[in-house]
Amino acid sequence: MSIQQRKKVAIIGAGPSGMMAAWFLAPHCDVLLFDRNSRPGKKFLVAGKGGLNLTHDENPSDFIQKYHPSGFLDPVIAEFDNTAFRKWLLDLGIKTFTGSSGKVFPEKEFNASDCLKAIFSNIIGRGVTFYPNHTLLSVSPEREIVFSIDKPGHAAVESGHNPHKGHVTYKPDYIILALGGASWQITGSDGSWTRIVENIGVNTLPFKHSNCGINISWNDNIKLHHSGKPLKNVTSTVAGSKRPKVLGEALITETGLQGTAIYPLIPEIRQCLDTGMKCELIIDFKPRNNEESLLRKINENTKPSEYKEIFHLDGPQLSVIKAFVSKSDYLNPRSFCRNLKHVLIPIDSLPPIDECISVVGGIPIQELNSDLSFRKHSFLYAIGEMVNWDAPTGGYLLQACFSMGAFVAHSILQKSILLR
């Protein structure tokens, strides 16, 4: 690909989306990569603490169905899908493997820090200039971007502006915003950028919970003895829902539940709580057994002390069941069997939005063109969690962020060729 005159591209946010865009643009453009932190990929490192789930090993037709709103990310994922992503990682020396659930992780010799180092060093090696400690203050319709800088020595002097005054201005040809959503604010992803885009006529949506836990009023026994323990191989749903049950694991915390059996339910729970309606979680502790098969395991002389052995229940499961099943139903073996399939747990609330794995809200997709540039400012792009899309955990979030970076880079390169 040849571009007659190298364009200057400013990328604001050195997370997965921003780094990927920088990598693809670097051979053809002068790329300036800015971040408010002293180092890149801070949220990437936090996400990797429990195991860095990079993507998901799944056929394209099933993979794309995990994203909402339907169709919005189809061309984005198609251009840089999970297979292309794994090949790209391998070319950087990062080997991956597929776990039993289809989740894709780096091989054991690579932790999140190793992966980030490999990606970022390759980006710098391709000619990208990194500017740490730069906090975006404004973007103008004339393509001017203004930063405050924590350490003036890290800024470059352009257009006569003096960085030693604590502010610096740039005027690139294209600007890519990759500033994150509003979760894990300690990483710098605090959503404060909304006022910046609103000042240039862009509408935004309030940030709301997506992948997160739920708050439940546990009794003291559960808090004291079972916090941090999982409820394994359960299915869950929201009372009154017509959606399929979710199979997974729910981790007991001091304030409630979190995990793969909970996260996919959050949009429905959020909507229920927002309307002020009573919201209840239904847990099936024996999803592989129907009620008839459970009833065959008991007789009229079965005692509650035998439940654990008969139904292969552990301490955390029994404690949760006992806490939310009436005493009479718990003592009656037949009623206990019915309740094993249908334990009703009131949901008090959702945690602070900062504790979410991901959020929805931010920039409405209606504000963007098909190439992810703003309709009102075609030189300006938005990628990653800034945009109002949603996906479950399991590698789908990171995949989409990397894919959006690649997609926008290709869009800018194509536009640069057409405009030369």
With a CB cutoff of 8 Å and minimum separation 6, the contacts of 115 are: 44, 48, 52, 54, 89, 94, 106
CATH number for 33: 3.50.50.60
- Closest to 407 (Cα-Cα) out of 37, 54, 23: 23
For residue 240, tell me if it sits in a domain: yes
For residue 1, tell me if it sits in a domain: no
- Residue 151's pLDDT is 66
Residues 261 and 242 in one domain: yes
For residue 400, tell me if it sits in a domain: yes
Query: 183 is written with which tokens?
Result: 């979760």
Q: Is the Cβ–Cβ distance between 362 and 385 less than 8 Å?
A: yes
Sheet holding 145-149, edge to edge: 134-139, 145-149, 167-170
**Interatomic CA distance for residues 250 and 236, integer angstroms:** 9
Q: Is the Cβ–Cβ distance between 336 and 329 less than 8 Å?
A: yes
Q: Is 228 left (phi over 0), alpha (psi -120 to 50) or beta?
A: left
Name the strand (E) or helix (H) holding 323.
helix 315-324
pTM, two decimals, is 0.90
- pLDDT of 63 strictly over 50: yes
Q: What pLDDT band is residue 39 in, cutting at 50, 70 and 90?
A: very high
Q: What pLDDT band is residue 5 in, cutting at 50, 70 and 90?
A: confident
Query: 125 is written with which tokens?
Result: 């090696």
Sheet holding 214-215, edge to edge: 214-215, 256-258, 246-252, 230-238, 280-284, 343-346
Residues 161 and 291 in one domain: no
Residues 21 and 52 in one domain: yes
CA dihedral 2, 127, 46, 82 (to 10 degrees): 30
Query: 178 is written with which tokens?
Result: 């990759």
Residues 164 and 49 in one domain: yes
For residue 298, tell me if it sits in a domain: yes
Q: Is the Cβ–Cβ distance between 232 and 285 less than 8 Å?
A: no
Residues 231 and 372 in one domain: no
With a CB cutoff of 8 Å and minimum separation 6, the contacts of 96 are: 54, 86, 89, 90, 104, 105, 106, 107
Residues 387 and 334 in one domain: no
For residue 101, tell me if it sits in a domain: yes
Q: Is 373 left (phi over 0), alpha (psi -120 to 50) or beta?
A: beta
- Residue 157's pLDDT is 37
Where does a domain end: 346, 379, 402?
Answer: 346
**Interatomic CA distance for residues 238 and 282, integer angstroms:** 6
Q: How many domains does the chain have?
A: 2
With a CB cutoff of 8 Å and minimum separation 6, the contacts of 366 are: none
188 vs 386, higher pLDDT: 386
Residues 29 and 159 in one domain: yes
Residues 147 and 236 in one domain: no
Where does a domain end: 321, 346, 371?
Answer: 346
Q: Is the Cβ–Cβ distance between 173 and 5 less than 8 Å?
A: no
pLDDT > 90: percent of the chain: 86
- Closest to 73 (Cα-Cα) out of 83, 63, 85: 63
For residue 332, tell me if it sits in a domain: yes
- Residue 51's pLDDT is 85
For residue 351, tell me if it sits in a domain: no
- Residue 418's pLDDT is 53
With a CB cutoff of 8 Å and minimum separation 6, the contacts of 11 are: 18, 21, 22, 25, 31, 32, 33, 34, 175, 176, 178
- Residue 4's pLDDT is 60
* pLDDT tens-digit series, residues 12-33: 999 999 999 999 999 999 999 9
With a CB cutoff of 8 Å and minimum separation 6, the contacts of 14 are: 22, 33, 34, 35, 37, 40, 41, 120, 130, 178
Residues 127 and 178 in one domain: yes
The DSSP output letter for 137 is E
Q: What pLDDT band is residue 121 in, cutting at 50, 70 and 90?
A: very high
DSSP notation for 154-218: GPPP-TT--GGGTEEEE--SEEEE----SS-GGGT--STTHHHHHTTT---EEEEE-S--EE---
- Residue 158's pLDDT is 42
The parent domain of residue 59 ranges over: 8-208+358-419
Residues 395 and 254 in one domain: no
By mean pLDDT, which of 27-36, 159-168, 257-266 is the weakest? 159-168
By mean pLDDT, which of 104-108, 149-153, 282-286, 414-418 is the weakest? 149-153
Where does a domain end: 346, 379, 406?
Answer: 346
Residues 298 and 332 in one domain: yes
pLDDT > 70: percent of the chain: 95
Q: What pLDDT band is residue 163 in, cutting at 50, 70 and 90?
A: very low
For residue 2, tell me if it sits in a domain: no
* pLDDT tens-digit series, residues 239-254: 999 889 999 999 999 9
Residues 46 and 129 in one domain: yes
The DSSP output letter for 128 is P
User: What pairs with residue 344 in β-bridges?
Assistant: 282
Residues in the chain, how many?
Answer: 420
* pLDDT tens-digit series, residues 329-358: 999 999 999 999 999 999 999 999 999 999
